[in-house]
Structure 1
Amino acid sequence: MTNAKWRTLATDLLKKRTQPNTESSFNRTTSKKIRLNENIRLIPFDKLRKESLKWYQDPDSMRNIVGIKITYTKEQINQMYEWQNEHGLLYYIEYISNDRSQIIGDVWLAEDDYAIVIDRSFRNRHIGRTVTKYFIYKAKRLGRNFITVSEIFNWNKASQKMFTRLGFYPFQENKDSWSYRKRLKKTQKSKYS
């Protein structure tokens, strides 16, 4: 496949998760770091950081993110980040240990999607769960009825397990994946039900 076709494929995959004309209702005035616990902090997206190349240029990680083993160029990653930042809340995930901090992933909350990426060497430490719990809280504060993960691939058992344990449920089957959702507002029962 030529470079142009790969670039088109990657761009299409980046944009398929949300509606391209979605207007964001997120408050952009807050740009402070958010401490979730003694080891995890969220840093608002400011620029492409070299650490993100590690997980977006790893074909195995990309299979869990977009469904095929590809890699993104620096330009494609930057394009993705700029687009996500315009259409939701985009943060880097910082891990702090022994007075040393490093960027280990990113997280994005849009009106109709949620996505999180954790560096392979930091998985299975409940970092994704901690970050996702915060964004469940954030989505509630924003008045959302649901928080939705548009695509978890069938082979990504770790993500399925994490989201299910946090109360997400599969609600729409896609090719090779499911969309997961968590209800944030309780529905009113009528006195006749």
Structure 2
Amino acid sequence: MTERIIDNELRLIPYYRNDEASLPWYQDLDVCKQVDNREEPYDVELLHRMYDYLTVHGDCYYIEYKGVLVGDVSLRENSEIAVVVCKEYQNQHIGRRCVLEMLKLAREKGMEQVKANIYSFNGQSQRMFQSVGFEKTAEEWYESKL
């Protein structure tokens, strides 16, 4: 897995353990609700289990925006895409650009479709995924044919 440059502001860096950068994203209760429908923040142990799972079962990247790590994005071997952008950097089309890059990666891997699990209350993510071509296929599932 190598770094993926999206544009002059945004690049994807292969995951490496960096709790100082990533733990604060997953201690924001709004982000925890959006991503995992959790009412409590992650601790270091849960953070490590999540990232270990993502790296074993696919490709996981940090999102670097203008030199700052602002979130993560993954493409699992089961074709599921997930993206997390910390609250301070949301609504700047960062997630959208990262999802488009994951669609390119999925095509490179020969996947025929990708999917995303988005909670019914997360309208922001639903709109973002639909804006890049995903269609709702079930109550909390969206899919894009490649």
TM-score normalised by the chain length of structure 2: 0.94
1:172 alignment partner in structure 2: 138
RMSD of aligned alpha carbons: 1.1
In structure 1, which of residues 50, 63, 85 is the aligned counterpart of residue 55 of structure 2?
85
1:155 alignment partner in structure 2: 121
Matching of residue 141 in structure 1 with residue 108 in structure 2: yes
Tell me, in whole angstroms, the C-alpha distance in 1 between the residues paired with 2:124 and 2:118.
10
Asked whether the equivalents of residues 19 and 44 of structure 2 are also in contact (C-alpha less than 8 Å), the reply is no
Alpha-carbon offset, residue 36 of structure 1: 0.6
Q: List, as ranges, runs of 4+ consecutive aligned residues in structure 1 with deviation greater than 2 Å.
A: none
2:76 alignment partner in structure 1: 110
The runs of 5 or more residues in structure 1 that have no matched partner are: 1-29, 185-193
Larger radius of gyration: 1
1:1-193 → structure 2 map (5 Å cutoff): 30=1, 32-96=2-66, 101-112=67-78, 113-149=80-116, 151-173=117-139, 178-184=140-146
Counting matched residue pairs gives: 145
Q: Which amino acid aligns with 1:165?
A: S
Asked whether the equivalents of residues 29 and 41 of structure 2 are also in contact (C-alpha less than 8 Å), the reply is yes
Asked whether the equivalents of residues 48 and 81 of structure 1 are also in contact (C-alpha less than 8 Å), the reply is no
TM-score normalised by the chain length of structure 1: 0.72
The runs of 5 or more residues in structure 2 that have no matched partner are: none
Please give the per-residue CA displacement for 1:49-105, whole angstroms capped at 9, x wherever unaligned. Answer: 312111111111111111132211011101110111000000000111xxxx21100
Asked whether the equivalents of residues 92 and 103 of structure 1 are also in contact (C-alpha less than 8 Å), the reply is yes
Asked whether the equivalents of residues 168 and 181 of structure 1 are also in contact (C-alpha less than 8 Å), the reply is yes
Q: What secondary structure sits across from 2:24 in the alignment?
A: helix
Q: What secondary structure sits across from 1:50 in the alignment?
A: helix
